Chains A and B, each alone.
Chain A
């Protein structure tokens, strides 16, 4: 007998970082590291589960910027070189550590792992990670949904309603183009919701979205079953909400599984630990040290004296934690069922990049959760699958909320980043004015206007204010924001005063996201 449904949701997102104007660009490594350490290990394990006939299902979002980067020829070619360099470094590490059995074992572990990963990427996936996710969607194991076009923070963009409309419309179109299917639902960027947003989602044919817990617990009227069943908004779009218990077991740095002392330490990396004579070719050419992915130590504890990592013990830990996670969900289901006259749904959303990148053993944990769950009274479901089986829900309007610190909008609007909003609103208003004024421009002007729309969308990414708040890579976020506003202004000026096709071509080449955008979406 099934006691509860379990809705795993993985949110895969990275900001659009692509710098063809440079041979090497440090921030592009966000993508390469996520691919090598997260997306490929996850895909490989999901393929293995599918081959074994394990009945696993989950929902995930692949945001338009990430999908665009995964599909981009330049970035794919650069990622192949990144894998080559990692292989080369792993080979060098095996040679360097000969004579030290414990270290050479670890070095061989990385060499073998990288080799398997490269074969999987090139031979099984044809060097197209996006196709791997599509294959899992085709077999019914994963449901892929969309997100905002550039992960714009919708409640604060809503000052200019067309900005929200375009974020959703362009996202849906990009999803169709790159993932070859209609998105049934959406992961709201940063889980950020405001009442009325569901009307825009319904207008684009989206049938569900995800909230943080209090988005549903503070809904009007109150939700009958708390977060353990979705509600239908008056527009007919369903709203699911996060279960805090299962989130905390995985998310929390202190209470959660990833902090186990036997798991691999993220920060100790040969890119920082070894002499530059050895790692120089594998870090930034300007001498800035970077992560290489080869890490020999385990978390150990709150000490700088880190012990050596043991992959076998760590794998056993991941299996144990998976068993514990499933056991806890079963007990949770038993208890909640006493209050409900329908089967509860436990929704567990996580950033996909947690698994493998921040938590090295995360993909093994997930694989084992599904293996365990197949023997349990829990049933993994996709959100669409759940709604098909459970079409009737209470009607309610959720509460404005996000999954950021304190639960509302403060992470994206505070003293460190509030200055960006007047620029964002100003260029958005001007974009709408231009879209209404230029109804049938000549081809060159059309290109300028389309590029202005791209620059506006790229400036709207929630990543820039988020990074400004968090304090890492602030200079890059600040620069990217200013660059997009500045390029918009430059394009706007040549729109009225004369042509500079060369300047336009250069900007188009750099910010080449959304090739099929039509600026007139802003006229609506």
Chain B
């Protein structure tokens, strides 16, 4: 389904028809190229499949012989109305979407913290199919993304994602409160006595270490070289 800027609009239209793109007859040539490129990207066809060089084995091992026959081509459009949000790291998330409605050139991806519904970021994106990596300022927050259009200064939502919580990237300030005993399949919870918080001494040791320094290396480096 590869298009290029040298193709005529009629050829691009034929490709768009083959891919099942709705509203194609009203699209400009530029829009057709754009939507076809997005479809190619979404099906993994345009991705770099050359080996990376970071692994030593990549330099030495020969490439495996290709399997007979080409890899099956997967449908670029999945005919669904869906936006999904996936956590990637403490401050990064990945959203992908497909809107089986008509092509809308100027979409907006809004990031909201939930349950407060506070908007924390907004990005201009394109549809009906696409993806976006979100880079956020805060770790450990709970977010959703909304895909929509802005008309007359108002945001009109088309799709809303699932809710995710980003991972934490630092120790919690919450102190332990409970023990749990599991014996013969029975769980028993008891409050943590003050004396037992002497484990805090270990945490004191952890907290003094330089940022990013592995805990056990740091313990080793505190005069106990072994």
Q: How large is the interface on A (under 10, 10 to 19, 20 to 34, 35 or more residues)?
A: 35 or more
Q: CA–CA, A218 to B203, complex, Å?
A: 12
Q: Which of A42-50, A84-92, A137-145, A469-477 contacts B (4 or more CB under 8 A)?
A: A469-477
Q: A423 within 8 Å of B by Cβ?
A: yes
0/1 string, B26-57, CB within 8 A of A gives 1:
00000000000000011110011111111111
- Would you call B206 and A406 a contact (CB within 8 A)? no
Asked if A222 and B51 sit within 8 Å, CB to CB, the answer is no
Per the 8 Å Cβ criterion, residues 409-456 of A in contact with B are 409-410, 413-423, 425-426
Closest B residue, CB atoms, query A409: B88
Question: How far apart are the CA atoms of A80 and B96 in the complex, in Å?
Answer: 47
Contact check, B182 vs A221: say whether CB atoms are below 8 A apart. Answer: no
Q: In the complex, what residues of B have CB within 8 A of residue A472's CB?
A: 51, 55, 57-58, 61
How many angstroms from the CA of A248 to the CA of B42 in the assembled complex?
A: 38
Q: Is the CB of B169 within 8 A of A218?
A: yes
Tell me, rounded to whole Å, the shortest Cβ–Cβ distance linking B62 to chain A: 6
B88-131 interface with A by 8 A CB criterion = 88-90, 92, 94, 96, 98, 131
**CB atoms of B199 and A340 under 8 A apart:** yes
B210 within 8 A of A: no
Minimum CB–CB distance from A439 to chain B (whole Å) comes to 24
A327 to B224 Cα, complex, angstroms: 13
Query: How far does the Cβ of B36 sit from chain A's closest Cβ, in whole Å?
Result: 16
B60 with A224: CB separation less than 8 A: no
CB pair B169–A419 under 8 Å, yes or no, is: no
CA distance A195 to B42 in the complex (A): 29
- Please encode chain A, from 224 to 253, with 1 for each CB lying within 8 Å of some chain B CB and 0 for all others: 111110001000101000011100100001
Report the Cα distance A391→B62, complex, angstroms.
Answer: 51
B42 touches A422 (CB 8 A): yes
The listed residue (B54, B169, B176) touching A471 by CB distance below 8 A is: B54
- CB-contacts of B37-87 with A (<8 A): 41-44, 47-58, 60-67, 71-75, 78, 80, 82, 84, 86-87
- The residues in A between 365 and 418 inclusive whose CB is less than 8 angstroms from any CB of B are 387, 391-396, 399-401, 406, 408-410, 413-418
List chain A residues, Cβ under 8 A from B216.
243-245, 332
A269 to chain B, nearest CB (A): 10
In the complex, the answer to whether A399 meets B62 with C-beta atoms within 8 Å is: no
For residue B85, give the distance in angstroms from its CB to the closest CB of chain A: 8
Whether, in the assembled complex, B18 has its beta carbon less than 8 Å from a beta carbon of chain A, the answer is no
Flag if B131 contacts A476 (CB, 8 Å).
no
| Inter-chain contact A391/B224, CB cutoff 8 Å | no
The answer to whether A413 touches B88 (Cβ under 8 A) is: yes
Question: How far apart are the CA atoms of A267 and B59 in the complex, in Å?
Answer: 10
Closest chain A CB from B33 CB (angstroms): 19
Set B87, B131, B168, B198: member contacting A409, Cβ < 8 A: B87
Bound CA span A232–B57, Å: 40
Q: Please name all residues of chain A whose beta carbon is closer than 8 Å to the beta carbon of B197 when the two chains form the complex.
A: 224
Minimum C-beta distance from B196 to chain A (A): 7
Q: How far is A395 from B180 in the complex, measured between Cα atoms in Å?
A: 6
Docked CA distance A18–B2 (Å): 33
Give bound CA distance, A415 to B42, whole Å: 11
Q: Is the CB of A478 within 8 A of B55?
A: no
Selected from B44, B53, B167, B171, the residue in CB contact (under 8 A) with A478 is B44
Q: Determine the distance from Cα of A225 to Cα of B220 in the docked complex, in whole angstroms.
A: 16
Q: Which of B96, B196, B217 contacts A421 (CB 8 A)?
A: B96
The listed residue (B48, B66, B72, B202) touching A339 by CB distance below 8 A is B202
Asked if A156 lies at the interface with its beta carbon under 8 angstroms from chain B, I say yes
Check if A159 sits within 8 Å of B167, measured CB to CB.
no
Q: Is B8 interfacial (CB 8 A cutoff)? A: no
Quick check: B224 and A400 within 8 Å, CB to CB? no
Name B41's closest neighbour in chain A (CB-CB): A419
Q: Does A222 contact B48, Cβ atoms closer than 8 Å?
A: no
- Contact flags (1/0) for B196-220 with A, using CB distance below 8 Å? 1111111101100000001111011
User: A470–B189 contact, CB under 8 A?
Assistant: no
A219 on the interface (CB 8 Å rule)? yes
**B176 contacts A222, C-beta separation under 8 Å:** yes
Cα–Cα distance between A155 and B87 once the two chains are bound (Å): 8
| A482 within 8 A of partner (CB) | yes
The answer to whether B215 touches A227 (Cβ under 8 A) is yes
Q: What B residues does A327 contact at CB under 8 A? A: 226
A485 CB within 8 Å of chain B: yes
| Nearest CB in chain B: distance from A247 CB, A | 9
Nearest residue in A to B79 (C-beta to C-beta)?
A426
Instruction: Say yes or no for A180: interface residue by CB 8 A criterion.
Output: no
Q: A475-B49, A486-B74 are in contact. Are A224 and B87 (CB under 8 A)?
A: no
Residues of A within 8 A of B217 (CB): 244-245, 248
Q: Which of A238, A392, A418, A468 contacts B96 (CB 8 A)?
A: A418
For chain A, residues 189 to 247, give those with C-beta under 8 angstroms from any C-beta of chain B: 194-195, 207, 213, 217-228, 232, 236, 238, 243-245
Contact of A482 among B58, B71, B170 (CB under 8 A): B71
Tell me if A289 is interfacial: C-beta within 8 Å of chain B: yes
Instruction: List residues 128-151 of chain A with CB under 8 A from any CB of chain B.
Output: none
- A334: nearest chain-B partner, CB-CB: B224
Which B residue's beta carbon lies closest to that of A245?
A: B216
B76 to chain A, nearest CB (A): 10
* 13 more CB-based (< 8 A) A-B contacts, given A395-B180, A408-B167: A286-B65, A332-B220, A339-B199, A392-B180, A400-B165, A400-B166, A408-B88, A410-B89, A413-B94, A421-B96, A426-B78, A472-B61, A489-B75
B interface list, Cβ under 8 A from A: 41-44, 47-58, 60-67, 71-75, 78, 80, 82, 84, 86-90, 92, 94, 96, 98, 131, 162, 165-183, 187, 189, 192, 196-203, 205-206, 214-217, 219-220, 224, 226
- Between-chain CB contacts (< 8 Å), 15 pairs: A26-B65, A159-B84, A218-B170, A222-B172, A225-B202, A267-B60, A339-B205, A394-B179, A394-B180, A401-B167, A470-B52, A472-B58, A475-B63, A482-B44, A486-B72
